[in-house]
Amino acid sequence: MIFTVVWDPDADDKLITLWIQAGSKPERDAITEAAYRIDRELRRDPHGKTLPLEQPAGPPLWLLRENPLAVVFQVKEQDRLVRVLQVELASALDQADA
């Protein structure tokens, strides 16, 4: 079953910002490739390598890490739609305190 993956405008803006801020071509390429990998992964199986993020209320959210990126996204099963809502550098996760 194939899902349609869309990036929310805010996530799109943030991805562009991360890409522009990346210092070198290899870093930018890595971001581009990760974005494509995220798209492929979510299209094929949005629950495959992802983690559910437990929130007390509201639509369920999921996390996927594809270095050097990590995204938070929403899955709309009935519409077979995945919405990427936020994107950050995966290194920020490593630096954060658990």
Partner 1 sequence: MSSATIRPGTKVGRPTQPVEKPAEQGFEYPGLPTTCDGAEAVVHVEIHVAQAAGAYPITSSTTMGGGFNAAVMNGQTNLWGDPLLFFEPESEHSAATVCEGFAVAGGRVTNFTSGQGLVLMKEVLYTIAGKRLPVVMNIGARALTSQGLNVHAGHDDMMCVADCGWGMLFGRNAQEAGDLCMIARRAAEASQTPFFNVQDGFLTTHTVETVRLPEPEFMKEYIGAPKEKLMNLMDPANPLMSGVVQNQDSYMKGKIAQRWYYDRVENILEECFELFTRKTGRRYGFVEPYLCDDAEFILVGMGCYMETAKATVDYLRKKGIPAGCLNVCCFRPFPGSHIVNALKNCTAFTVFERMDDPMSTTGNHLTREIKAAFTDAILGVNGQEKIDKIPRIYHGAAGLGSRDVRPGDVIAAFHNMLKPNGQHYFCVGIDHPLALKKPEDPDLRPKGGFSMRGHSVGGFGSVTTNKVIATIAGNVFGKDVQAYPKYGSEKKGLPTTYYLTIADSHIYTHSELEHIDLLCINDPTAILNPHTLEGLQTGGAIFMQSPHTEPKEVWQHIPAHVQKIIRDRKYRVFFCDMVRIAREMASEADLQMRMQGIVLLGAFLKLTPYAKESHMSDEEVYAGVEKALRKYFGKRGDRVVQDNLNCVKRGYGEMKEIPATLIQGSTASKSVDDAALIAKAKKVFNFDEAQRVAATEREGYSIDEVMKHLRSREKEQ
The residues that touch partner 1, with contacts defined as CB under 8 A, are 1, 4-10, 12, 15-16, 19-20, 32, 35-36, 39, 45, 47-48, 50-55, 57-59, 61, 63, 65, 70, 72, 74-75, 77, 79, 83-86, 88, 92-94, 96-98
Residue 48 has φ and ψ, to the nearest 5°, of: -60, -65
Q: Is the CB of 8 or the CB of 27 nearer to partner 1?
A: 8
Closest contact distance (angstroms) between CB of 37 and partner 1 is 10
Q: Which are the contacts of 6, defined by CB distance < 8 A and separation ≥ 6?
A: 81, 82, 83, 84
CB atoms under 10 Å from CB of 68, counted, come to 17
